[in-house]
Chain A
Amino acid sequence: MIDIRDLDVVFGHGKQAFHAVRQVSLAVEAGQSFGLVGESGSGKTTVLRALAGLLDRVATVSGVMTVADETLQEQRSKSFRRRVQMVFQDPYGSLHPRHTVDTIMSEPARVHRLDRIEERVVSALEEVGLDASFRFRYPHQISGGQRQRVSVARALITDPDIVLLDEPTSALDVSVQAEVLNLLMRLKREHGLTYVLVSHNLAVVAHMCETLSVMQNGEIVETMSVQQLREHSSTMPYTQQLLTASLGYDRAAIDAFEEFGQ
């Protein structure tokens, strides 16, 4: 479904150039959930934004990206824009504060000249567990979890095949996170969606995905199945350290931490 070959992303030019992503290749099959894991600055979000075509004016992107047999051009096709949707990290920053939920959700439908917009908005809201009365509220009138549901509903409006999820629950309380993760799993089953999930939380990725890549300093360190992650059978010391760290505070283990990269 998604195939990325030798992706490089460089921000800036000359002396100021910053090589954010180096030689990243990955493949995601249809109906799969693929996780990208790493610490801040590892380039995981940049890979996602490069795929979505959000970097073309701010960075030099090279490499070959193919989505469902379509080789992506710098100017993405309209069908790509419809088939690939994104959910962002911060539900406070990614919904227009002066637009109602109805306006926010019908905009992608209008852009793609879809019919029965009102019907689509109501049914997408229903799918994410919000009733039709939410249509006429503003983002500040609803909770963080409800906002993230609206973001998911907005992504569903164009009936996409692929949803790119950039830390979709890291701004939420754990009880709300569980609800949103369950929602995402159900939608994936019902619509046969393909997910690419970026997260720093290994447990969330283990819960959602079948395969994951661990990134560090712009490169993929290791790609493995979630089963391998669970069995701690990773071969790379960086991944093992990340795993140890995500299990909680262990004074003795911390002294053994190494500095990686640079």
Chain B
Amino acid sequence: MKRPGPVMSMAAGLTAMPVTAQAHLVNSGLGPFYDGALHLLLSPGDLLGVLALALLAGQRGTTAARAAVIVLPVAWLFAGLIGLSLPVALELTGLSIVSFTLLGVLVAADARLPPAVIAALAGAYGALHGLLNGAILAAMGSGVTRLAGIVLTSLLLVLLAAAAVVPLRAFWARISVRVAGSWVVAVGILMLGWMFRGTVSS
């Protein structure tokens, strides 16, 4: 049996690291749907991941972008519904940071991934955050309407960002996307440091 290497062990340790729960709900004054929409827009960690995924999908062209636009919100919704039925709120801050950092690495590297892999990444990212959002919403007594607001906002964000990147042809424009990916990675590395230090408040 193959033993896990140091990288896998460190990743497992990161994801299992206990940190303070920072769940928060936003009150827009317009009802739970818009509260959910604002929740995503005001959660920079989630936003970074969605934008990094959109940039990655946009880099790989129309087919990959379409796959991400469809798979991300669908996975987010179904995982969110599962999360709503969980008895306790999950706290996977480490995994969340690692996920958007890895997406940033792929954007910075301009990784030539096939659309199926982009779709799988979108599904994994959507499922992770859907599960987290659903569990938190359930713990706070909120429900499907708020989750729908989050999901629709994720759809709009990935759609707009990917659509902005797909037609980019100029060399400098595509480099700008890669630079944005490196910024996401830098934020992720710093956040891992803050997490180790116990200062994370996302």
Tell me whether A and B are bound partners: no
